[in-house]
Amino acid sequence: MSETHRLGVQNRSPLKRAIGPGLLFFLVLGDVIGTGIYALIGSVAGHIGGALWLPFLVAFGVAFLTAFSYLELVGKYPRAAGAALYTQRAFRMPFLTFLVAFAVMSSGITAAAAAARAFAATYLQPFVAWPVLPVAVGFLIVLGLVNFRGVAESVWINMVLTGVELSGLLIVIAIGAYAAAGGQGEPGRLLEFASDGRSVLLSVTAATSLAFFAMVGFEDAVNMAEECRDPARIFPRSLLSGLAAAAVIYGLVTVAASLLVPAELLSAAGSDALLKVVATGAPEFPLKLFAGIGLLAVINSALINMLMASRLLYGMANERILPPLFGTVHPSRRTPWVSILCTTAIAVVLVVAAGEDAVRKLGSTTALLLLCVFTGVNIACLVLRRERVEHAHFRAPPGTPVLGAILCAYLALPGLSGRPAGDYEIALALLGVGVVLWGVNRWWSGRPKPIRNRS
């Protein structure tokens, strides 16, 4: 059996092609808008200062370069396997393919854990002041139970939730515009950089490497390729327009935040930064309304990421690259309960171990893992250009895969990116768990099978 077949690549998809360009646009926008922008503005401000818009602008530039590579690859291979498929086709190295798939799965777990902490420490507090850690752990357990019960997802539901999340950001933009028109705010802050002894370049790269978490998610849309009508035609416009819309929204939100609140106060507020902006620009605005929108944003992000992580672990077990135990399906619920239990347990451990700075640490680790994956996707795009396909497809502009690979690697490398060492420790620990599981599976599959007594 070929490796491409083992990854589930088939010429004819059994899935219904129900997604058109409009739904795909909202799917991309909904994947990007979520926990990152709602929870990490304060942490990014701590790295960069008042020029908060700059790292988000740079991060979107890097995301666009990688999006071009994804568009070329999804046009050539419109299958629901994403980065793992492209890695396998380009390099034919099962262990490398496994590492890429496990890194994507781990990024989903760290993103959900960051969302759980933001849920408990930030957006739930205006309603009930419960202890943060028990609530965050309980939140993840409830997500696991929902995941176990089975969730029938729909892109139409995604559109509704995207509208709710978008409304919160538009409120921040409107408050910023209203306050600025009334003479409130300091435009000079937009060009201020944090003076913490680092060079401007290192401050920008450190902030960008964290801000990148706020726009990851668009690659999830690639896994919907088999359910899109004519993906080679509609993906380029929908993906690029969705990213562009998110970039404009994030730019306006970060400008509003810097105008109204000094960077040191945004940094001190942490994941409460957007609530601080709303309270400063419009003291009469009901904070509970904005907190409710934030709750929906982080719940949606966390649930989507945990669904993705558990199904990816289940899929790797079915492909026999992880122990078959993780492929166990509950007889009545028909959900991969062992994979759900495992991913939920890992998320709980991460929330407990990361401590009070969990949102920043886990958000930064998510960005680190995906920057490594994106580096591989850009390289795979270059390698796979020697493969020809019969149908027409998008081709990335000259030089963008090379530049994308260089910038993604730069933002992921220690020392150059200004990223704290703790982020690498979490990422390496997660990948270490994966390598152990890979080794266990190799050992188990290589054991001689017992000979049954047929007498």
Give me the pLDDT at residue 18, please.
Answer: 65
For position 323, which CATH number holds? 1.20.1740.10
Which residue in 28, 43, 415 sits closest to 211, CA to CA?
43
Residue 453 counted as domain residue = no
Residue 455 counted as domain residue = no
Average pLDDT over residues 134-163: 77
User: Does the pLDDT of residue 356 top 90, yes or no?
Assistant: no
Give me the pLDDT at residue 229, please.
Answer: 78
- Residue 15 confidence class, pLDDT cut points 50, 70, 90: very low
**What does the pLDDT look like over 232-262, one tens digit per residue?**
778 888 889 989 999 999 999 999 999 999 9
DSSP secondary structure, 25-72, as one string: HHHHHHHHSSHHHHHSHHHHHHHH-S-THHHHHHHHHHHHHHHHHHHH
Helix axes 94-118, 82-91, angle to 10 degrees: 160
- Residue 216 confidence class, pLDDT cut points 50, 70, 90: confident
DSSP secondary structure, 362-413, as one string: HHHHHHHHHHHHHHHHHHHHHHGGGS--SS----PPTTHHHHHHHHHHHHHS
Q: What number of residues does the chain have?
A: 455
User: Does the pLDDT of residue 67 top 60, yes or no?
Assistant: yes
In percent, the amount of the chain with pLDDT more than 70 equals 88
Return the number of other C-beta atoms located less than 10 Å from residue 279's C-beta.
18
Average pLDDT over residues 384-407: 90
State the total domains in the chain: 1
Assign 213 to helix, strand or coil: helix
Give me the pLDDT at residue 80, please.
Answer: 55
Give me the pLDDT at residue 447, please.
Answer: 55
Residue 450 counted as domain residue = no
| pTM to 2 decimal places | 0.85
In percent, the amount of the chain with pLDDT more than 90 equals 46
Give me the pLDDT at residue 391, please.
Answer: 79
Residue 11 counted as domain residue = no
CB 382 within 8 Å of CB 73: no
Give me the pLDDT at residue 308, please.
Answer: 79
Please, what sign has the CA dihedral across residues 409, 218, 276, 357? Answer: negative
Residue 10 counted as domain residue = no
Mean pLDDT of the chain: 85
Residue 292 counted as domain residue = yes
CB 432 within 8 Å of CB 395: no
Q: Which of 23-32, 153-162, 315-324, 390-399 has the least mean pLDDT? A: 153-162
- Residue 352 confidence class, pLDDT cut points 50, 70, 90: very high
Residue 94 counted as domain residue = yes
Assign 286 to helix, strand or coil: coil
Which structural domain range is residue 253 located in?
A: 18-443
Please, what sign has the CA dihedral across residues 162, 356, 58, 368? Answer: negative
The residues, any chain, with a CB within 8 Å of residue 342's CB and separated by 6 or more, are 310, 313, 326
Residue 5 counted as domain residue = no
**What does the pLDDT look like over 436-445, one tens digit per residue?**
988 888 887 7
